[in-house]
Chain A
Amino acid sequence: DAKTTQPPSMDCAEGRAANLPCNHSTISGNEYVYWYRQIHSQGPQYIIHGLKNNETNEMASLIITEDRKSSTLILPHATLRDTAVYYCIVSGPWGGATNKLIFGTGTLLAVQP
């Protein structure tokens, strides 16, 4: 079972920031939060991951609450090519265990022109 809860869909205007929420209230102390996205008819693509601290890379920012029970993926300037299903995944613990990704149904982000 997926350990995360996400809204099924969201809209965002092109050029604006897209903020995608995720609840993971049962996360364990050594589990990471991963975000992947899947553009139609393609395999999933890694975006970002984090443990406790906020993270930023060239694609997005990840904000994790202090209690780690929820997080937000931020795409700072959404483009039409960012239209995809975004998956928030909790995975771990690390150290020899299978790092299998339990995908839920994700959030379909539709970027509008």
Chain B
Amino acid sequence: GAGVSQSPSNKVTEKGKDVELRCDPISGHTALYWYRQRLGQGLEFLIYFQGNSAPDKSGLPSDRFSAERTGESVSTLTIQRTQQEDSAVYLCASSSDRLTISDEQYFGPGTRLTVT
């Protein structure tokens, strides 16, 4: 079946502009995560959606970052007034998150964001 998809695969934007990144999770997966990976570093957790529960936004680095998810489908991550330090690969993952047993996360290919 189809995996997690993300778009665009690459985005170059000027400092100060807003960008919107999209994630399509695996169908039926209730949990969705966004991570950021700077060059040569590990992944940073940004935000987590689980069903209709309030999202866990504890990883968002500033109020310029926001994310939405419609039901259990598509999610968008928005970065306003982009800064050069926002340059990174943004990764989305989904899982079935059955809450009774641990469940692995499936990652998309990421969106490489470059802020010039």
Contact = CB atoms under 8 A, between A and B. Distances in A.
A28 B77 CA distance: 32
B107 A99 contact: no
A32 B102 contact: yes
Interface residues of A, number: 25
B109 A101 contact: no
Contacts of B102: 32, 34, 49, 51, 91-92, 94, 99
A101 B31 CA distance: 13
Nearest to A46: B104
Interface stretch (B14-22, B37-45, B67-75, B80-88): B37-45
A106 B110 CA distance: 19
Contacts of B110: 43
A99 B50 CA distance: 10
Given A49-B104, A99-B102, A44 B41 contact: no
Contacts of A49: 102, 104
A32 B99 CA distance: 13
Interface of B: 4, 31, 33, 35, 41-45, 48, 50, 56, 58-59, 91, 93, 95, 97, 99-110
